[in-house]
A = this chain, B = another copy of it.
Amino acid sequence: MSEKLTPMIQSCILHFGEMGSRWGINRTVGQMYALLVLSKEPLCADDITEALSISRSNVSMGLKELMSWELVKLQHRPGERKEFYSAPGDVWDIAKTLIEQRRKREIDPTLSTLRNLLIETPANAEEEYAQQRMREMHELIEMLTLWTQEIQRLDSAQLGKLLKLGNSIGKVLDMKDRLLGTTKKDATK
C-alpha cells in the first residue's frame, strides 16, 4: 500500500477491505471502494493502482465490479481520455444502493426458489415439514424485505432527523404493539 496514504486513511481502507471479504466482496474491491469514499476528488484507475499497490488490470476489474453494483459514478474531464471514478457523496445513498443490489441478487432469487418449492405437492411427511419451514422462511424474508424497502424510501435528511431524535423507534414499535394488542406486557416472563 502506498506511502502517500496517511496512516489514518490506510487503517480505514484496510478495515473495510477485511469487512468486504467477509461479505462476499473481495478484499481489494473493498479497499478500492473505501479509498473512493474517503477521497473528495474523483480518482482515475492509476491513482487507485498507486494508492493500493495493486496491478492496473486488477483495478480495471474491480472498477467494473463496482460499476455493476452501481456504487461508483464515471466522470470525464473535457479534452482527456482518462476516466475518473467517484462514490456518492451521501453515505445513506451508498447504503441504499447496497441494500437494493443485494436484494436483487440474493433475496429475490431466494424468494423465487422458495415459491417454486412451495407450489409442489409434498410427497411425504418429511417434505410436508420441510415445506412448512420454507413457508415460514418465505414469509419472514418477504416481511423483512418490505420493512427495509419502506426505510429505503427515506432520504438522508429524514434519516438524519430520525437519528438526531435519538432512539424513538422503540417508542414507535411500542405504540404499534399496543395497536396490535400485544401479550408481551402481560407475560410473567
Residues of A within 8 A of B (CB): 6, 8-9, 11-12, 15, 19, 21-24, 37-40, 90-92, 95, 105-106, 109-110, 113-114, 117, 120, 122-124, 126-127, 129-131, 133-134, 136-137, 139-140, 143-144, 146-147, 150-151, 153-155, 157-159, 161-163, 165, 167-170, 172-173, 175-177, 180, 182-184
Q: Count this chain's copies in the assembly.
A: 2
Question: Contacts of A180 on B, CB cut-off 8 Å?
Answer: 158, 161-162, 165
Q: A95 near B140 (CB under 8 angstroms)? A: yes
Question: Contacts of A114 on B, CB cut-off 8 Å?
Answer: 12
Q: A130 near B38 (CB under 8 angstroms)? A: yes
CB contact between A91 and one of B19, B140, B155 (< 8 Å): that residue: B140
